[in-house]
Amino acid sequence: MKVNKNKKPVVKLNTDGDIKIKFKFSKSILNLFIGYAFSDSTSISKMNLSNLNKLLEMTDERTYEIDTELYARLKVAKSILDAKLHKGLDNKDAILSYCSKESDKEISKILARIDEYTNLKQNEIKFITNSVVDRLQYSFLVLYKEIIVNEFMRIDTGEYDSFKEIVESVKDKCGLLMNDIRKADMVNSNMTFSLKDEIFDSLVTDTVVQVANPSTALVTGIKMLNDVLSPGYIQGRLYLWLG
C-alpha cells in the first residue's frame, strides 16, 4: 500500500493534552463496531472489547459531529463498551437502558434495531478484531511519536545529565511503546496465559468463558508445555502433575 506523504497530519492535540486520531470510520464499519460490542459471542473476549474501547477513545469525535448518523453510531458503540467494561453490565436489556440515557432520536433508532447489528459471521468478527488491532497499534505510534522525538531532541540540545541517563530514558519510552503494541496484539495469541499488568484480570475472565467451550484448548505461555499437552488444556480432562 502506497503512503501519501503529502497528506495533512491526522492528529489533534486537545487542550487537555490527550492525543486524538482523526479516523473516519464509515457507517457500515460503525455498524459492525456496534454489533461487535453488543454481541455475546465467545469469539469476542473482554480483551477484544478493551481494544475497541481504547481505539474509540483515541478517535477524534469532532470528525463525526457534522454527520448525525455517524456521530450517533460512534456514541452508541462507546456507550455499549462503557456499560460492559466499566459498569459491569451483562444483561442486554440493562445495557440498552444504559445506552438510551441520552434522549437522541438517531440513537433511539439504532437501539431499536440492535439485533440487526449483532448478526455477525465468524469471518466478520475476525475482520473487526484484526482491523481494531491494526488501528490501535498505529494510534500508539502516533501517541509515542512526539514523546520519543522529544527525547532525541534532548540529544541535539545536550539537555541530559549523562550518556547513561539519556540512553535509559529513550529505552524506557521505546519500551513503553512496544509494550502497548504487544498488549494490543495479544488478542490474537489464542488465549496465551500471562501475568502481565492489565492483562491478567481480563485473561482470567476470558479463560472462564473459553474453557466452557468443548472445542477450545487453553494454551499456556510455555511452548514445550504446549507441545506436551498438544495443543493445550482440554475441557473435561483430568491433568495430574508430579514433581
Structure confidence at residue 218 (pLDDT): 73
Q: What is the pTM of this model?
A: 0.70
Torsion of CA 56, 58, 61, 67, to 10 degrees: -50
Structure confidence at residue 130 (pLDDT): 92
Residue 70 covered by a domain: yes
Structure confidence at residue 243 (pLDDT): 83
- Structural domain containing residue 93: 11-122
Residue 129 covered by a domain: no
Structure confidence at residue 3 (pLDDT): 41
pLDDT mean by block of 10 residues, the chain; 243 residues: 42 55 92 94 86 93 91 95 92 92 86 91 91 92 90 90 91 89 69 54 62 65 75 78 84
Residue 150 covered by a domain: no
Residue 243 covered by a domain: no
Domains in the chain: how many in total?
A: 1
Structure confidence at residue 199 (pLDDT): 54
Torsion of CA 74, 138, 222, 173, to 10 degrees: -120
Q: Name 221's Cβ contacts closer than 8 Å, sequence gap at least 6.
A: 192, 193, 194
Structure confidence at residue 135 (pLDDT): 93
Residue 151 covered by a domain: no
Residue 83 covered by a domain: yes
Residues forming beta bridges with residue 218, ordered by sequence position: 233
Residue 49 covered by a domain: yes
Structure confidence at residue 13 (pLDDT): 44
Residue 66 covered by a domain: yes
Residues forming beta bridges with residue 19, ordered by sequence position: 13
Structure confidence at residue 9 (pLDDT): 40
Structure confidence at residue 233 (pLDDT): 79
Return the C-alpha cell found at 153. 531532541
Residues forming beta bridges with residue 21, ordered by sequence position: 11, 59
